[in-house]
Amino acid sequence: MNIVEKVKKYLKEYNVSNTLLCALSGGCDSVVMTHIIHNLGYKVIAIHLNHNWRAAESQRDEEFSKEFAQNLGIEFYSEKLPNDLKKTELVARELRYNFFTNCAKHFKCNCVMLAHNQNDNVETLIYRVFKGTGLKGLCSIPKHRDIFYRPLLEVSREEIENYAKANSLKYVNDSSNNSTKYKRNFIRKEILPLAVKINPDASGAICNLIELANMQNEIICNVVSEIKSKIFEGDKIILDYFLDLSEPLKCEIINDFIGADLKYRDLKRIKSYVKFIQDKHKTPSKKSVNTDLFLEISDEYIFKSSACKKNYDEIAVFGEGTYNLASQQVVLSKVQNVCDFKNARKCHFLNIDFNQKITLRTRREGDLFSPFGMKQGKMKLKDYLINKKIPRQKRDNLLLLACGNEILCILGVQISQKAAVKKGESCYKLKILE
């Protein structure tokens, strides 16, 4: 089966819609994926996020992607990230997926095509093995999750490059892919060539392992789901039922229950929580999961509880006036024709819609923020504050102007793109009095 037939079979198997968003970086994989899907007769919208990491090269990638889409006769949409964000793979990944999700909403499309290939899948598994993983980790990259689809996941990099050559497709190369200081590049350039000396088809063997892991993980998930229906009461685990389980099932249930909340998840840590429950089940007890969460035993149940009950201060903001919160005084006033934002000290200029409920408060779980300069994306407020290196002890004391869980302004720090003001517009000035 050639590459086109594999993609066609994949799209049919998942019964995707006629309109597809293709994440187009400009690299060989995404160029080939977009070209094939377009030629199969689907309506394609190419979406590109400029991470703004590699200066002229990042701009080159965006311009190439735009030109490629135009030559295919498909719609193209792009955004550029602000250059003051922390440049880590974790932050980039979160912002990238936020961008994809927002594009899906904007274009009212529930299918985003990503160009991960078979080699990416193999490299991901090796990386996870060395970092430490379980059966779920051995499943590697999923073929489909939520709105995200990966039609090239069973296609090798060699097949993709051959298709590009056969169809005279040009693409750009990311210079950072040549540096072995990045772990995945090191795996690709240093480790896999050694693995071939043991097994010439090492990648094929790893792909078989991934397939087996997915099959076995599905069986385990079905079994665990059935057990959970018997031992859970709402969001609590019935203690007596849990204690009757075998050791492996106890570990699986606890991993499923708190694994995502742990900063570092490994078997030793999961076992420590199982042991805690077994040792302390006769008296009310609790064990820290992270800085904000406990695993607690009480009243014949196992459940999660907050590490501390925060006092969430909040007052409604209706318009111009002086507001007092958390021993701080804030003045909101209307101004006309602001032309010089940069020289305005210790104050913020915002566009505020008072037809919505606006509040002045401290931060809460689930708060979202669109930093000034980010056209459409959102990120967790917590991640933004970490990126800005604001100390943990100061984060809970920051005053926020909010509309629901969306933050319009972090006073003394930054405004949201949602509240951005154009030069010459009337707006509101927000200032903390000393």
Question: Domain residue spans in the chain?
Answer: 3-202, 234-306, 314-433
What's the CATH class of domain 3-202?
alpha beta
Pairing of the two strands 236-238 and 285-290: unpaired
Low-confidence ranges of the chain (pLDDT < 70): 87, 307-312, 338-345, 393, 434
Specify the residue for token string 């406990």: 294
What is the pLDDT, as a whole number, of residue 374?
84
Q: Is the pTM of this model over 0.95?
A: no
- We find that the CATH architecture of domain 234-306 is 2-Layer Sandwich (3.30)
Distance of alpha carbon 320 from alpha carbon 332, whole angstroms: 5
Q: For the beta carbon of residue 301, count every other beta carbon within 10 angstroms.
A: 17
Residues 2-60 pLDDT 10s: 999 999 999 999 999 889 999 999 999 999 999 999 999 999 999 999 988 777 888 99
